[in-house]
Every structure is written in C-alpha cells, then in structure tokens.
Amino acid sequence: MNAHGTAIKYGDHIDTDVIIPARHLATQNHKELASHCMEDIDKSFVSRVKPGDIMVAGVNFGCGSSREHAPIAIKASGISCVIAKSFARIFYRNAINIGLAILESDKASENIAEGDEVDIDFDTGVITNVTKNETYQAVPFPDFIKDMIATGGLMASITGGAK
C-alpha cells in the first residue's frame, strides 16, 4: 500500500471544528462535507486539493470533538494520508475506523514544506520527500490495524469482511 501526492501543510492543534465546522454537521453526505473541509482556516484548500495529496501538520492533529465527519471530510476531499507529529486520540481511532491513512513523524512534519512531492510506503512506514530527496521513518501500522484496514475497516472486520 502506497500513497503519492503534493503536501498541503498546517500547524499545531488543528481541531475538528476547523476541519469541518459544526454548522455543516447536519449532513452525512461525504461530498458535501468535503466541500467545506478546512474552510475556517484555509478557504483555498477545497479548490487546490488534488486526489492523492498529503496533509502534513504539527502536534495534536484532530483535537476537539469526536465528529467522524472530520476524517470523512478529509478523506472525501482526496487526501491520501495525514502526517502529523501527534494525533488527538479520538481522531486517530476514527481515521483508522473509516480507512483514512495517518502516520506520526516529527521529522516529516518539520521538513516537508507546502508543495513538496511526497511518497509513502505504508508497509515500511518510510516517507520519501521527492522534492528534497530526503526520507523519514514513521512507525508503520501495527498488525491488528493493518488487518482492520485489509478487511475494509472496523465494521467489515466485525462482520467477517462481508460488507
């Protein structure tokens, strides 16, 4: 499993209220959620994000509410992986449960700049910054999470993969 895309960079403590503001939570439509993703801190995100792009942020990404609409909005906007120094724990669970790839790496978070081309190998946890010709090692997913993703997320894993 790999990802490749252009980095879109944010800072520390990106909370779920800015990822998807509560005023849009009455919908569960993925496309509609994606159309408002990040709008309160970055109005241009929706127009510049391309399928496969990689979101890079600092510490405590996804802090705040438990709204699963947040990882859903990011995933539906085309982001293939979020790299951060750390994630808030509910966001971390939600991302895995809905199949949004996430990796923790201090180095990648610090060295990847907006617009850098990034390659990710999820099996090894190696993040390659193609633009800067650097690599960063993230901890790859543990086996139980790989299994969950392989069977199609949490719901598929408890129904035995039949979805």
C-alpha span between 3 and 100 (Å, rounded)? 12
Structure tokens belonging to residue 130? 């193609």
Least gap, CB of 140 to other proteins (angstroms): 16
Nearer to other proteins, 49 or 72 (CB): 72
Least gap, CB of 128 to other proteins (angstroms): 27
Least gap, CB of 119 to other proteins (angstroms): 28
Structure tokens belonging to residue 124? 């090894």
The label of the residue with tokens 């909370």 reads 15
Structure tokens belonging to residue 62? 């996804």
Nearer to other proteins, 5 or 75 (CB): 75
How long, in residues, is the chain?
163
Strands (E), the chain: 2-9, 54-56, 81-84, 101-104, 117-121, 126-129, 134-137
Site residues (vs other proteins, CB under 8 A): 13, 15, 17-18, 21-23, 25-28, 40-41, 59-60, 63-69, 71, 86, 88-90, 93-94, 97-98, 144, 153-156, 158-159, 162-163
Nearer to other proteins, 42 or 134 (CB): 42
C-alpha span between 149 and 139 (Å, rounded)? 16
Least gap, CB of 116 to other proteins (angstroms): 25
